[in-house]
Structure 1
Amino acid sequence: MPKDTTDARARAKLLRALIRLQAGSGLVFTLFLAAHLLMAVSAVFGQGPFDAILGGMRAVYDLPVVGLGLLATLAVHVLAGWWRWAAFGRSKPKPKQEVTRAHRLVGRVLSFVVVGHILGARGPVWFGGLETDMSLVTYTLDHAGWFYYPYYAALFAAGAFHMIRGVQVAGGSLRLGLPAKALRMSQTSWRRLAVVTLGLGALITVAIGGSYYAVDRSSYAALTAYMEKITPW
């Protein structure tokens, strides 16, 4: 068999493996992401619902096997995506569908943003020994709102869009037997989804900022001490 043919088959096999690996890991992580986004939405109704969902989620992902499993699943999803792009993406023309280009671009941006997001959310627990609640997010809004108000709104929209479109893509890649209509998203639909999720993200962020109800800020002293510890400047 000619070497070129063998190499082409090997590359095709690698591409299929990366697609399935990325799709499978994405679907698994979706279970966590969906709960995380639901928790964010609950902030519209008060700090109580947000903290209740957060507490329930922590009871699960604070288990070492679950927490490490989530991080491993996320790492596999991200690395498979970048490997696929490095090995195949640069040599292929850009996808014609705008929604596909948007989905991939958002994923690449999130692959970097998520590192800071995890450290920001879990850092006080891991390195400061603090028990955090919704007031951690409110704290960031109170101290650097110029950055965090648009950041949180955009992060919610990006996460929701990437998750919804990702389930569609994974359903097709893994041949899960979903209806054809469920696997498609028109240009109009994804743009509407972007507007709706960004608007909802803004509503959530304003709620967490304390515009609709009083937020318990009793943790601020401990959070300030932690911030002074990790940012001595």
Structure 2
Amino acid sequence: MDGDDRAGGLTRRRRWPWVVLVLAVVVAVVVAVLFLANDREPEAAPQPADPEVVTLPVPTPTIDPIDVEPGTRFFESLPRTVLEYALTESTADQAAVASGAVEAYRLVLGDGGTTEVVVLASQWRDADAAGAAFDELLAAEAAAAGIPVDQVGTPTGSADDAAAGEQTQDPAAPTEEPTEPAAPTEPTLEQGPVEVDGTQVGRYLLVTRPDGSGTVHWTNGTALLRLDGPATAVRDVYAAFPL
């Protein structure tokens, strides 16, 4: 019995080195796997896809333009449709002719609903005459708005005025919450050049009124044109007008 016990104990003692060796190998493998996993470069984050550009379709009229008799080359150059608006009325503008225009017309463009844009289009003997007529309209619009002509299109106030206001403010005074700007009570005027293919061919004047109406005057060579209607509609029609 003693001999068997000693033999069994010897066998168990001989197994321990192998067990330790196996455990060491397992630990080494685990450490290697963890090291390789941590050492692996992180996968690059997927690049966001480029935003898709959505182009809205250009509005088109829901009504047909009225038929008009053929006219001069200038009259035929005036559009019968612009965006969702179609010609509903066409008459001669005798007042513009009396003021010196060679020919002039009054067109009404409607959307088939309640929105209308009135076009006054006149042809002058040369670009200087059209420019002089534009200057008269500019002076009249500026006077109606109470703005000096040489300040039309310039912002009110300046950076120097704003800086002076910041310097005189008491730092210890409580900060006031920003307030919404008051609705304009007078017409606002904006002017600038009219360009075709990078070349200036005239000037424009945009008038926006507190009641939501608007007017655009502009020249293009010997032509002087005017749009009247809702301010948003006038802007859109002016931007799309082919003349």
TM-score computed with the length of structure 2 as normaliser: 0.23
Instruction: From the CA coordinates, give the structure whose radius of gyration is larger.
Output: 2
More helix by share: 1
